[in-house]
Amino acid sequence: MKKKYSNKYLISTGIGLQDVDHLENSDYFLNESKRYISGEISLEDLKNNVNEYYKNKPDDESRTKEADDVSARIATLLSDDSFSFTVGQLLSIHRFLFDGLLKHPGQLRKYNFTKSEWVLNGDTVIYGDYRELEATLQYDFKVEKEFKYKGLSINKIIDHLALFIANLWQIHAFEEGNTRTIAVFIIKYLRTLGFDVTNDIFAKNAWYFRNALVRANYNDFRNGEFEDRSYLILFLRNLLLGEENELKSRNLHVLYGSRLSEDTRENRIISLMRADPSITIEEIAANIDYSVRTTKSLIKALEELKLIRRVGGKKLGHWVVND
């Protein structure tokens, strides 16, 4: 029997997952979504209304259109449990989500790339080699198919799922839209394992989910950073067991914790601000012997970690260190 999922769960998950790429839905879509949640219109009505809304909109709203379209498409995919645990299914999910929105929907990428990550203070994860994507995906799917869950404790099951999900994401099979595709695939896969994934964890913590995947695949031995799946495990425990572990992205940042107690350029910035709250960015850059551009990036990361904040304007304002 087909399981009925609430409209609120379906559309809220779709909307929430746009946060992994910092996309925002239009006010029109959010208002129409409320009508869908209340049952006033159907999901098909919602999609048709959104298509009409964008017919005469300028191209500079393409990112908002992507957020609206993909949110509705995610809701469509999550509205039923049809699923096959295959590489082809992963490709078809990407194709369905991004057809008409991205250049190569449902196709494996043809080049290698890096991506500056906020949670890594600008560093990148090493993604799978594009020449080996098909083989790597087939291998990971084969290993997961052959894995025996029977007899394992729930803790061991979640540990293994974290490993599989982290490895699948690290391959980064597509040019764009990887995290949203993986999230939909994993939700549908977890259902086949008997998990009732109908809470709002993805809707409210999609950005944390992405950062947890980044940390699960990042190594920087020189600075004492190693692959860490503990953050992803906390997310999964909340998702699958209903636990209430704190899920804050700032806790995942590589500067949050031990490295802030060392003699780093970030700590030197904080020390300079403590000594002279009116110090300029140019003066900070000169003191730490880095470019103004790099210094601005470092300060932005410290602000996002809520370790410092700027009070007042550029000329008359000052820095505050949050102890």
Residue-wise pLDDT tens digits, 268-298: 899 899 989 999 999 999 888 888 888 998 8
Residue 110 confidence (pLDDT)? 98
Q: How confident is the model at residue 2 (pLDDT cuts 50, 70, 90)?
A: low
Q: Which CATH class is domain 81-253?
A: mainly alpha
Q: What is the rounded distance in angstroms from the CA atom of residue 134 to the CA atom of residue 142?
A: 12
Pick the CATH number of 258-321 from 3.30.360.10, 1.20.120.610, 1.10.10.10, 1.10.3720.10: 1.10.10.10
Cα 99 to the chain's mean position, in Å? 21
- Tell me which H or E stretch contains 298: helix 292-304
**Percent above pLDDT 70 for the chain:** 97
Residue-wise pLDDT tens digits, 117-140: 988 988 999 999 999 999 999 999
Q: Count Cβ atoms within 10 A of the Cβ of residue 6 and give its class: 0-12 exposed, 13-18 middle, 19 or more buried.
A: exposed
Angle subtended at Cα 161 by Cα 156 and Cα 167, rounded to the nearest 5 degrees: 130
Residue 206 confidence (pLDDT)? 96
DSSP 101-162: TSSSTT---SS------GGGTT----PPPGGGHHHHHHHHHHHHHH---TT--HHHHHHHHH
Inter-residue contact 180 to 97 (CB < 8 Å): yes
Joined together, the tokens standing for residue 280 give 């300029």
3-state SS class at 236: helix
Residue-wise pLDDT tens digits, 203-262: 999 999 999 999 999 999 988 889 999 999 999 999 999 999 999 888 898 887 666 666
Q: What is the rounded distance in angstroms from the CA atom of residue 207 to the CA atom of residue 201?
A: 11
Joined together, the tokens standing for residue 231 give 């953050």
Smallest CA-to-CA distance from 121 within 229, 264, 23 is with 264
Residue 1 confidence (pLDDT)? 57
Q: What is the rounded distance in angstroms from the CA atom of residue 97 to the CA atom of residue 204?
A: 20
Give residue limits of the domains in the chain. 1-80, 81-253, 258-321
Estimate the crossing angle of helix 87-98 against helix 133-146, to 10 degrees. Answer: 120
Q: What is the rounded distance in angstroms from the CA atom of residue 259 to the CA atom of residue 136?
A: 34
Inter-residue contact 121 to 249 (CB < 8 Å): no
